[in-house]
Amino acid sequence: MKQVIATTSAPAAIGPYSQAIRAGQTLYLSGQIPLDPATGQIIDGDVRAQTLQVMQNLQAVLEAAGTDFSALVKTTIFLHDLADFAVVNEVYASFLTPPFPARATVQVARLPREVAVEIDGIAVLA
């Protein structure tokens, strides 16, 4: 059985998807972009500010599922420009503690709403 996880502390879905789905003890987090949950608008700022908002959005969804970043086992970071990797990695790392989740980072031609970064994840719940 699957359970929808939703919170107003993270941006509402802008398409036909859920913020997260719990299937058994696995939580699948949809990709988050730097949307302000209060306004539904892309935040102003550089890739550092955008990554901070993305991580805060992911944190809100994890909290709505009753967990935190320590439950993450896999993430994927989608970057518009791989030259931003070091900055994104620094912000990303500030939210995590060892053992870190497995991760892939890829450069993509385009992201929703022309943002610089999107991150999704998979977590295992206790």
pLDDT tens profile 100-125? 999 999 999 999 999 999 999 999 99
Q: What is the mean pLDDT of residues 93-102?
A: 98
Position 1 confidence tier, pLDDT thresholds 50, 70, 90: confident
Residue 121: predicted pLDDT: 98
| Chosen CATH of 2-124 out of 3.40.50.300, 3.65.10.10, 3.40.1350.10, 3.30.1330.40 | 3.30.1330.40
Region at 45 (left for phi over 0; alpha for psi -120 to 50; beta for the rest): left
* 37 pLDDT above the threshold of 90: yes
Predicted confidence (pLDDT) at residue 126 exceeds the cutoff of 90: no
Report the pLDDT value the prediction gives residue 29, as an integer from 0 to 100. 98
The per-residue pLDDT of the chain, averaged, comes to 97
- Residues composing the chain: 126
**DSSP calls for 27-85:** EEEEEE-SB-TTT-SBPSS-HHHHHHHHHHHHHHHHHHTT--GGGEEEEEEEES-GGGH
For the chain, the structural domain boundaries read: 2-124
- pLDDT score at 111: 97
Residue range 55-80: average pLDDT? 98
Q: How confident is the model at residue 14, as a pLDDT?
A: 83
